[in-house]
């Protein structure tokens, strides 16, 4: 690149976007890469604080920031992502559909360790809507040695899964069993079922059946087996998850031969959460907090299961870092620290 004075730049071709910032009004490119500077542009550039500009001085082995950002963006992108056009040397990656963002923490770290390379993303397992911004990438210098980008591309190839990917939530047929003698005998109105039905439907799934069982192991097991026989692809069992003598839901699930993943999660609210599998069908035991707290361990785990991920106990215990809900007066999840 060659630096020249703005007052002498009429006819010069810009080799990068020129950003204009007017507080409270705009922050964006006033002049785009490739713009031919005219006499009328000089006062504008000077008002932007530009006394000098760079003009092209091509050297072998160097590539422009826009090309570098595009190559980085393509390298890290898996399925479910779209890219915008380069803007001020940056590429924004957006969700192509609703789902969960899966990001490789190790891959992001490896790329950002390379001098001059920047990849900034949302947290792993972040729920996103179609069109939402999920990541951005660029390089620091205006021109960068192509070997740096080649190194980044080679690092990406060492990972078996994409650095970034948005996985859709697959529609599932969900069976719900509401436990508790007080509901089973009609002493109180069921408040748990409507909450679970709303969450299931918001995730794009359907309630196959909702049944009631008293605090009896055989009744709870019978309800689960019936729903499995009818084709349930996920089972939710609400209540009966504490240490009270009448709370037998964990016993019922364990003694029917399910593979227990965890009884307990380092998440508040949701510490008494249970996850098990009958074959490939996940069964979740849901503590009472799911009924009254807007966001719990259930909201962190269920969407991941709906992407087709099979979780281990290690996956659950990792939720401890960021697993504390602050019980904000107005819940803004997922735009908060919970689950991060």
pLDDT at 239 over 90: no
What pLDDT shows up at residue 89?
84
CATH topology classification for 173-319: Molybdenum Cofactor Biosythetic Enzyme; Chain A (3.40.980)
What pLDDT shows up at residue 58?
61
pLDDT at 213 over 70: yes
The pLDDT confidence band at residue 211, using thresholds 50, 70 and 90, is very high
Q: Where are the domains of the chain?
A: 2-56, 62-167, 173-319
What pLDDT shows up at residue 61?
87
Average pLDDT over residues 229-252: 89
Provide the whole-model pTM. 0.85
Place of tokens 């748990």: 192
**Quick check: 216 and 228 in contact, CB under 8 A?**
no
The pLDDT confidence band at residue 1, using thresholds 50, 70 and 90, is low
Write the CA distances from 269 to 101, 121, 217, 300, 328, integer angstroms. 23, 27, 25, 11, 13
Write the CA distances from 178 to 17, 61, 193, 201, integer angstroms. 59, 66, 7, 17
pLDDT at 243 over 80: no
What pLDDT shows up at residue 35?
81
Average pLDDT over residues 52-59: 75
pLDDT at 13 over 90: no
C-alpha to C-alpha distance for 195 and 199, rounded to whole angstroms: 6
Question: CATH homologous superfamily for 2-56?
Answer: Molybdopterin biosynthesis moea protein, domain 2 (3.90.105.10)
Average pLDDT over residues 321-334: 95
- Is there a cis peptide before residue 257, judged by omega within 30 degrees of 0? no
What pLDDT shows up at residue 178?
96
What pLDDT shows up at residue 142?
82
How confident is the prediction for the chain on average, in pLDDT? 93
Please identify, in words, the CATH class of the domain defined by 62-167: alpha beta
Question: Tens digits of per-residue pLDDT, 136-165?
Answer: 999 998 889 999 999 999 999 999 999 999
What pLDDT shows up at residue 197?
98
Average pLDDT over residues 268-272: 96
- Per mean pLDDT, which range of 19-28, 124-133, 217-226, 291-300 is the poorest? 19-28
Largest distance between two CA atoms of the chain? 88
Question: Tens digits of per-residue pLDDT, 56-112?
Answer: 666 778 888 888 999 999 999 999 999 998 887 899 999 999 999 999 999 999 999
What pLDDT shows up at residue 56?
67
Average pLDDT over residues 302-331: 97
- Is the sign of the CA dihedral 291, 292, 296, 297 positive or negative? negative
Helix (H) or strand (E) holding 52: strand 52-55
What is the percentage of the chain residues whose pLDDT exceeds 90? 78
Q: Do the bridges between strand 91-95 and strand 81-83 make them parallel or antiparallel, or are there none, so unpaired? A: antiparallel
pLDDT at 228 over 70: yes
The pLDDT confidence band at residue 26, using thresholds 50, 70 and 90, is confident
């Amino acid at each position: 690149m060659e630096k020249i004075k703005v007052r002498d730049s009429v006819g010069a071709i810009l080799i990068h976007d020129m950003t204009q910032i007017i507080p409270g009004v705009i922050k964006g490119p006033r002049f785009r890469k490739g713009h031919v500077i005219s006499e009328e542009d000089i006062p504008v550039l000077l008002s932007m604080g530009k006394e000098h500009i760079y003009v092209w001085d091509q050297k072998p082995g160097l590539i422009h920031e826009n090309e570098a950002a595009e190559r980085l963006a393509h390298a890290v992108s898996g399925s479910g992502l779209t890219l915008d056009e380069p803007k001020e040397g940056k590429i924004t990656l957006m969700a192509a559909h609703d789902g969960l963002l899966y990001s490789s923490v190790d891959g992001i770290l490896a790329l950002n360790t390379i001098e001059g390379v920047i990849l900034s993303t949302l947290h792993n397992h972040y729920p996103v809507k179609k069109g939402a911004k999920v990541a951005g990438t660029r390089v620091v210098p205006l021109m960068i040695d192509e070997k740096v980008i080649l190194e980044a591309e080679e690092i990406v190839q060492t990972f078996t899964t994409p650095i970034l990917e948005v996985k859709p939530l697959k529609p599932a047929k969900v069976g719900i069993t509401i436990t508790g003698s007080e509901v089973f005998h009609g002493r109180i109105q069921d408040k748990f079922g409507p909450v679970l039905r709303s969450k299931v439907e918001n995730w794009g799934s359907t309630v196959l059946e909702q049944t009631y069982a008293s605090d009896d192991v055989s009744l709870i097991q019978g309800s689960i087996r019936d729903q499995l026989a009818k084709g349930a692809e996920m089972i939710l069992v609400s209540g009966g998850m504490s240490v009270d003598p009448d709370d037998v839901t964990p016993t019922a699930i364990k003694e029917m031969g399910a593979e227990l993943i965890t009884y307990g999660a380092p998440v508040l609210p949701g510490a008494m959460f249970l996850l098990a599998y009958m074959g490939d069908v996940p069964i979740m035991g849901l503590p009472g907090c799911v009924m009254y707290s807007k966001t719990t361990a259930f909201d962190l785990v269920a969407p991941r299961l709906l992407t087709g991920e099979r979780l281990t106990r290690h996956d659950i215990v990792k939720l401890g870092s960021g697993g504390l809900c602050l019980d904000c007066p107005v819940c803004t999840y997922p735009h908060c620290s919970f689950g991060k």
